[in-house]
Amino acid sequence: MSTDQRQAKRALHQGIDCVDLDAWPIDRPESERYQRRLAEIRAALNDKGCARIDGFIRPEYHAQLEAEVAGIADKAHFSHGQITPYFNSDEPSLPADHPRRRFAPFSNAFVAMDWFPTDGICLALYHHPAFQRFITDCLEQAQLYTFDDPLAGVVANIMPEGSSLPWHYDTNEFIVSLLTKKADSGGEFEYCPDLREPGDEHYDDVRNVLDGKRDKVHSLALELGDLQIFKGRFSMHRVIAGKGERHTAIFGYAKEPGFIGRVERTQQVHGRVLQAHIDAEKNARSDGLDD
Ligand SMILES: O=C(O)CCC(=O)C(=O)O
Ligand SMILES: [Fe+2]
């Protein structure tokens, strides 16, 4: 067994020491408290598409968690540009104030999984069966799988000082993230539960939010060590510009085993691809069809 493998094995066993197991007993899924906590999280996800699992990481581990991601922040691949809530290109046939024409600047940076320390908190959590089961339970799934993707399983989202993530919908059904560094000020997460629904974009409501109307906006000021589960497919959301960097670790899950991201997407997010991405794409297309 190599040193790396030994470290990974030790990390796996120690992986949930950092979790506040009194508040969030993910090691005891049969317990009454676990079931009660689960019911609260599921209710929040069903009601508002958003659950805050506050104080998930014990305070004694906060400094280590913050340092773990801050220590790799300079490995981030930056991208910036202008986006609409739908990530579409301009559609000049629509009126200028239409949500599909409302571009806002974004800048963002992601650190790939292969930069994370193998003996750190983030990888240990991601690979721990109790954590995986907890996330699966929260999302009321029969089974969720960690990614096989060597870059995308856990990524750090680094928001540099002054950058914002403007209003948008996610293409993913849900996102699981852990705040590892709070902005010195600002950096709040804002979201509008169920602003759109299948078959109806509710463009008037979206336009109101883009124009600054606040009646549908909820705000969440996450603290270091809080875990968040968010369903962003129908709930438009953003992160407000802050002072000081803001860091989150994002944990990726799929409904099928073996997920490896596409070459084009991986290149956009990380600025590079590995052989695993090229091989996966070749296999996916072995039927000769495009997608
Ligand atoms: O960092 C966050 O809290 C939200 C990130 C987000 O909305 C996204 O990555 O799509
Ligand atoms: Fe998002």
Residues 121, 62, 232, 100, CA torsion sign: negative
Contact 196, 202 (CB under 8 A): yes
Asked whether the predicted pLDDT for residue 11 surpasses 80, the reply is no
Ligand 1 contacts CB of residue 231 (under 6 A): no
What's the pLDDT band for 14 if we cut at 50, 70, 90? low
**Residue 163 pLDDT grade (very low, low, confident, very high; cuts 50, 70, 90):** confident
pTM of the model: 0.90
Give the ligand with the smallest distance to the CA of 189: 1
Please give the pLDDT value at position 290. Answer: 53
Quote the ligand 1 centre to 64 CA distance (angstroms). Answer: 22
Residue 290, in any domain of the structure: no
Q: Is 239 in the pocket of ligand 1 (CB under 6 A)?
A: yes
Domain of residue 198, CATH code: 2.60.120.620
Q: Is residue 225 part of a domain?
A: yes
- Integer angstrom CA distances of residue 259 from 146, 152, 220, 273: 8, 10, 30, 15
CA dist., res. 196 & res. 192, Å (int) = 9
C-alpha to C-alpha distances, 153 to 129, 164, 170, 177, 193, nearest whole angstrom? 15, 23, 17, 12, 27
Question: How many residues make up the chain in this entry?
Answer: 291
Q: Has residue 162 been placed in a domain?
A: yes
pLDDT digits (tens, 9 = 90+) for 185-230: 999 999 999 999 999 999 999 999 999 999 999 999 899 999 999 9
Q: Is 170 in the pocket of ligand 1 (CB under 6 A)?
A: yes
Report yes or no on 180 lying in a domain: yes
- From 9-23, 101-115, 262-276, the region with the lowest mean pLDDT: 9-23
In a domain, 202, yes or no: yes
Q: Is 266 in the pocket of ligand 1 (CB under 6 A)?
A: no
Q: Are 84 and 103 in contact (CB under 8 A)?
A: yes
Question: Cα of 283 to ligand 1 centre, how many Å?
Answer: 31
Range of the domain at 102: 3-259
Q: Tell whether the torsion through CA atoms of 8, 14, 18 and 20 is positive or negative.
A: positive
Q: From atom 10 of ligand 1, which residue's Cα is the shortest distance away?
A: 170
Establish if 46 belongs to a structural domain.
yes
pLDDT (average), residues 106-114: 93
281 CB burial (10 A radius; 0-12, 13-18, 19+)? middle
What is the CA(230)–ligand 1 centre distance, in A? Answer: 9
186 in any annotated domain:
yes
- Give, using CA atoms, the residue closest to atom 4 of ligand 1: 239
Ligand 2 centroid, distance to 181 Cα (angstroms):
18
**The pLDDT value given to residue 6:** 66
Distances in whole angstroms, Cα of residue 27 to Cα of each of 31, 136, 176: 9, 14, 19
Question: What count of other Cβ atoms lies within 10 Å of the Cβ of residue 137?
Answer: 18
DSSP string, 7-75: HHHHHHHHTTTTB-TTTS-TT-TTSHHHHHHHHHHHHHHHHHSEEEETT-B-GGGHHHHHHHHHTTGGG
CA distance 279 to 224: 38
Q: What are phi and psi of 214, to 5 degrees?
A: -110, -5
For residue 157 and ligand 1, the question of a CB distance below 6 A is answered with: yes
Q: How many domains does the chain have?
A: 1
Percentage of the chain with pLDDT > 90? 84
ipTM entry: 0.96
Q: How far apart are CA 290 and CA 18, in angstroms?
A: 44
